[in-house]
Amino acid sequence: MQVKKVDHIGIAVRSIEKALPFYTDVLGLPFLGIEEVESEQVKVAFLQAGEAKLELLEPLSPESAVATFIEKRGEGIHHVALGVEDIAERIRELKEHGIRMIQDAPKRGAGGAWVAFMHPKSTGGVLYELCERTNRTEGHQ
């Protein structure tokens, strides 16, 4: 499998509004925007951090995966997103290597990207996201 780059690092926060000043005022990272991803029940804020982005994830409901994560582990790094091409082919390759996927097919994520997550039990405890951005989904690339 070929990884193009680290696309972004997802950070679970209880409140984007409360967390944002640290990233913008203290770290001086450019703020790129906020959107809601209804399918994941999260609000997402993107910040530019050099070649990659930071993605702040605020749960919109107690049932969201991010809310469960914060409940169990507290705020902090949630996932690492790897930029790939042909995400469906990458999923197939990973499964051939015995990697368990949370999604067997890509779905739309923040910024219109195609995404799929690898199960942390197959990756040494790290939640990795595959992220494919095309010309139609350049919003946060």
Tens digit of pLDDT for each residue in 68-105? 999 999 999 999 999 999 999 999 999 999 999 998 99
Strand-pair category, 52-59 with 5-12: parallel
Structure-block tokens of residue 110: 């923040």
Cβ neighbour number for residue 97 with a 10 Å cutoff: 8
Mean pLDDT to the nearest integer, 104-125: 94
CB 118 within 8 A of CB 100: yes
pTM: 0.89
pLDDT of residue 134: 79
Q: What angle do CA 34, 36, 37 make, to 5 degrees?
A: 130
CB 41 within 8 A of CB 59: yes
- Is the pLDDT reported for residue 6 higher than 90? yes
| Residue 6 to residue 9: CA distance in whole angstroms | 8
Q: Which residue has the higher pLDDT, 24 or 103?
A: 24
**Burial profile 117-137: b = 16 or more Cβ within 10 angstroms, e = fewer:** bbeeebeeeebbbbbbbeeeb
Mean pLDDT to the nearest integer, 10-37: 97
